[in-house]
Amino acid sequence: MERSRDEAEVYSLTEPLNHRARFSFDLDPESEPEGEETIAYPAPPLSAAHIASIEERKRLWWRNALINLLFIGSWFGFATLLSVYNKWMFSPKHYGFPAPLFVTTVHMFVQFAFAALFRYIWPKRFKPAHDPTPKEYGKKAVPTAVATGLDIGLSNLSLKTITLSFYTMCKSSSLIFVLLFAFLFRLEQFSWRLIGVIFLIFSGVLLMVATQTHFVLEGFILVISASALGGLRWSLTQMLLKDKKMGMDNPASTIFWLAPSMGVTLAAASLAIEKWPVLFATKYFQDAAHVASTAFYLTVPGIIAFFMVLSEFYIIQRTGVVPMSIAGIAKEVSTITISAWTFGDQLTPLNITGVGITVAGIALFTYHKYRKSIDSPIPLDAHGNPIPEGEEGEDEEERAHLTGPHHRGEEDDEVRKLRTTLVTRDLIWLTLP
């Protein structure tokens, strides 16, 4: 009894492209009695693209984790250098420059200049084919820049009315706003487990920096507003980093397009808060020598800021805004722990408990992302590389096909009935003498 050609073709087409037929088999001609015909079932075609196996998913997760750690380490390093610079630049015991918003404004234009330089020297790597239209720029890029400027401006303004410890406690709420906007813009899939982990980390941070401090309503409103704007701007930044049509899917290009608007926004805030006429009358601009030294101290750290932001954007592009925020919390934990060990900073039992809770929350978040990565279908191309979401052309069609219902075990009724009928025929045929 032989199958018809049509049945064989239907049987092949109903099988997933990256698997052989479940009930197909090959007969060894040497093991068959002489005189009997050997029947071979046609194997379904093997696709170059396929869904990653469990082992492939684990291997991909560890590879991505190592790359992400390199970017996080780079970000830690540049952020630490910038923190040391800020302490020296604004401390009355050292340089004592009185206008942090003005400094950040200068840094924005330095970042723009370096992003333009990168695009000019390495156009294939840092200059995408598309540029944002004026309408797209005004609708998507400008709100991100304004949110960034207001976040930085309100944060600096709040420090004039509240203590640094109270500011840190309130600013830690930005993690909640980041998660809220990530859910709102569908950057993260809603999960009660993720919400629980985020609140665990938030409570740990509160205990970690908890001190007896005076509550100031005005400062509290300012810093909470800054936290909300911080969550909004990071989510908007992630959306821009995914937008190939606007040409912002490259971190250097994103800096190139965002930095000017950020600089203008911060300049307006600095002009209103720090009083430029008064600033330019200070000793830092009193003669040519002082102007040259001030310009040097303002611009050179902008290079460090550029590489720090570049690392931030790569982390956001690769992992998302929530992991980026968790990495920021991990940086704070590291700073507090190193300060306690190296410089003898005093930590209360409550602070130590907060550090422990925060570390546990970060570990749970990492495990949550690991399980999500392992349990999710990951389509791979012919070279074993993941097919990115949103790719145009054949890659997007291949991804949609591989992650479709027939690859997730959610076959429609017609395919399920046809598969059952063919398998039943196979079993009947196998029982015949």
DSSP-derived secondary structure for 29-76: GGGSPTTPPP--PPPPPPPSSEE--HHHHHHHHHHHHHHHHHHHHHHH
Per DSSP, which regions of 214-369 are E strands? none
Q: What is the pLDDT of residues 97-134, one digit of tens each?
A: 999 899 999 999 999 999 999 999 999 899 988 899 99
In the chain, the amino acid numbered 149 is G
Mean pLDDT of 345-368: 85
Kindly tell me if the per-residue pLDDT of 263 is higher than 90.
yes
pLDDT bin (cut points 50, 70, 90) of residue 211 is low
User: Which tokens in the block code for residue 129?
Assistant: 């084919």
Q: 68-82, 253-267, 369-383: which range is least confident on average?
A: 369-383
pLDDT in the model for residue 294: 94
User: Of 86, 210, 96, whose CA–CA distance to 155 is shortest?
Assistant: 86
DSSP code string of 196-254: HHHHHHHHHHHHHT-------HHHHHHHHHHHHHHHHHHHHHHHHHT-TTTT-SSHHHH
pLDDT given at position 298: 92
The residue-averaged pLDDT of 233-246 equals: 90
Residue 74 predicted with pLDDT over 80: yes
**What pLDDT, on the 0 to 100 scale, is given for residue 377?**
80
The tokens of 259 are what? Answer: 């930095």
**The predicted structure's pLDDT at residue 373:** 83
Q: How confident is the model at residue 303 (pLDDT cuts 50, 70, 90)?
A: very high
pLDDT band with cut points at 50, 70 and 90 for residue 53: confident
β-strand pairing of 379-380 with 50-51: antiparallel
Residue pLDDT, tens place only, 276-292: 999 999 999 999 999 99
Question: Who wins on pLDDT, 255 or 11?
Answer: 255
pLDDT of residue 280: 93
pLDDT of residue 406 exceeding 90, the answer is no
Q: What is the pLDDT of residue 129?
A: 86
Axis-axis angle for helices 142-158, 100-121 (nearest 10): 150
Q: Quick one: pLDDT band at residue 297, thresholds 50, 70, 90?
A: very high
Compute the CA torsion angle 132, 136, 140, 145 (nearest 10 deg). 60
Mean pLDDT across the stretch 401-424? 48
pLDDT of 429: 45
Span 58-69, mean pLDDT?
90
Asked whether the predicted pLDDT for residue 28 surpasses 50, the reply is no
Give residues with Cβ within 8 angstroms of 47, minimum separation 6.
Answer: 17, 18, 398
Mean pLDDT of the chain: 78
| Per-residue model confidence (pLDDT) at position 21 | 41
The Cβ of residue 412 has, within 10 Å, a number of other Cβ atoms equal to 9
Q: Is the pLDDT of residue 191 over 50?
A: yes
Question: Which residues sit opposite 379 in a β-bridge?
Answer: 51
Query: At 339, is the pLDDT very low, low, confident or very high (cuts 50, 70, 90)?
Result: low
Arithmetic mean of pLDDT, 137-165: 84
What is residue 10's predicted lDDT score, i.e. its pLDDT? 42
Q: Does residue 218 surpass a pLDDT of 50?
A: yes
What local confidence, expressed as pLDDT, does residue 79 receive?
A: 86
The HSE-up count of residue 209 (CA atoms within 13 Å, CB side) is 21
* pLDDT at residue number 261: 93
Q: Whole-angstrom Cα distance, residue 257 to residue 112?
A: 8
Q: Average pLDDT for residues 328-357, to the nearest whole number?
A: 77
Residues 56-61: what's their mean pLDDT? 87
Inter-residue contact 219 to 376 (CB < 8 Å): no
